[in-house]
Structure 1
Amino acid sequence: MKPIRLNIRQHILDTAKPIILGKGFVAVGLNEVLQAADVPKGSFYHYFKSKELFGEALIASYFEDYLLEVEQLLKANGESAASRFMQYWNGWLTSLADKDMQCQCLAVKLAGEVSDLSEAMRLALHQGTDRVIARLAQCVEEGRADGSLPTSLDAAVCAETLYEMWFGASLLTKLRRDPSALESAMRSTKHLLGLST
């Protein structure tokens, strides 16, 4: 007997995420997602009017989950803000190394692929990354306040610069299949933050 799923829409999105991380958005057909989710095609169109709107919902869902993880990592827990901030970047480095240089970030995977194909998906990616950068900037502000990061840092500029650098480094890692770009990003991050290398 099949288990009853209370949220079929979310089940479709959760099932699709690893498939699209592996193959990309354009290469994945709806039938592949629906078969993996064990959901009839008619159900898909009840929840998503088109593949583009499905993609937009997938990105929004990804960022909701991701931001919860980021919040858990960055929230005040007795450690300095600088320590929590560096744990975030260490996570980027180790997650790629643990996955044989295969990026697990849907934003990195889809940014180049869908930004020219779908304005709705581009905006969802843009809004999601802006929210991540804003949370990172908050952590920098906390570091300035607790003395673990230089007070001379502009929190918003610092967060945006670092996120852009790591995003680009992740793309280069996909190309090179080695961690050199991420290792360089880590050195540059420590230098920018005035932390020992």
Structure 2
Amino acid sequence: MVTEHTDVRQHILDTAKPIILGKGFSAVGLNELLSAADVPKGSFYHYFKSKEAFGEALLDSYFSSYRSRLSDLLNSGGGSAGERLMNYWQQWLDTQASDGTDGKCLAVKLGGEVSDISEPMRIALARGTSSIVELIAGCIREAQQDASLPAEIDADKCALTLYNLWLGATVLTKIRRDSSALEAAMTTTRQLLKQAP
């Protein structure tokens, strides 16, 4: 059992993420989460005042980690900014088309489920997704500066359009159980960014 305050809190969040990615938020009871994390119920309420507060913290933790990984990929990966951006979409296609929960998008899993039942969780989703769009827009601007993307692209609008496209394609991938929507998203992405296949 983990003993440090922040470690226990993060341990609960880290243990819960794959379970919730597999089953959803409402279908997972506290007993299942606490048993998997090997944490007593009283400890859970020491860190989270309710399951909803836990859900908000889970989303904040997910987006914080995602932003960090995305920032590393977009800002310090090899190649031009345009190449790094296309690598991001390729990684998205690879992870979201695969089986299992590893690397899956929590925004896709919980967006439709919790947005109507929890305002704090909806706000956490909105805040998190907006921060991802900002990183993408920043990479587009950098790609315009290094001439790996066309200067006429509106970075903010393009980033939002692409993120919306990929979120929707990921939902369709779950529905269809094939990667056709993600492959179509990649084709559209190349067209919008004027990148050769």
TM-score, normalised by the number of residues in structure 1: 0.95
| Paired residues for 1:1-197 under 5 Å | 2=1, 4-5=3-4, 7-99=7-99, 104-197=104-197
Distance between the aligned counterparts of 2:102 and 2:174, measured in 1? Answer: 7
SS in structure 2 at match of 1:75: helix
Distance between the aligned counterparts of 2:14 and 2:148, measured in 1? Answer: 38
Gap change, CA 1:34 and 1:100, over 3 Å in 2: closer
The percent of aligned pairs where both chains have the same amino acid is 58
Q: Which runs of 5+ in 2 are unaligned?
A: none
Deviation for aligned residue 1:72:
1.1
Distance between the aligned counterparts of 1:9 and 1:105, measured in 2? Answer: 21
Gap change, CA 1:15 and 1:103, over 3 Å in 2: closer
SS in structure 2 at match of 1:104: coil
Distance between the aligned counterparts of 2:102 and 2:65, measured in 1? Answer: 19
- Conservation of the 8 A alpha-carbon contact between 1:55 and 1:121: yes
- Cα deviations by residue, 1:85-112 (Å, 9 ceiling, x for unpaired): 0011001111123326987110110000
RMSD of the alignment, in Å?
Answer: 1.6
Gap change, CA 1:166 and 1:61, over 3 Å in 2: same
SS in structure 2 at match of 1:157: helix
Runs of 4+ in 1 over 3 A off after TM superposition: 2-6, 100-103
Deviation for aligned residue 1:79:
1.2
- Cα deviations by residue, 1:111-168 (Å, 9 ceiling, x for unpaired): 0000000000000000000000000000000011000000000000010000000000
- Conservation of the 8 A alpha-carbon contact between 1:115 and 1:122: yes
Distance between the aligned counterparts of 1:192 and 1:62, measured in 2? Answer: 28
Gap change, CA 1:78 and 1:87, over 3 Å in 2: closer
- Cα deviations by residue, 1:28-84 (Å, 9 ceiling, x for unpaired): 000100000000000001111111000000000000101111011001445101100
Q: How many matched pairs?
A: 196
- Conservation of the 8 A alpha-carbon contact between 1:12 and 1:33: yes
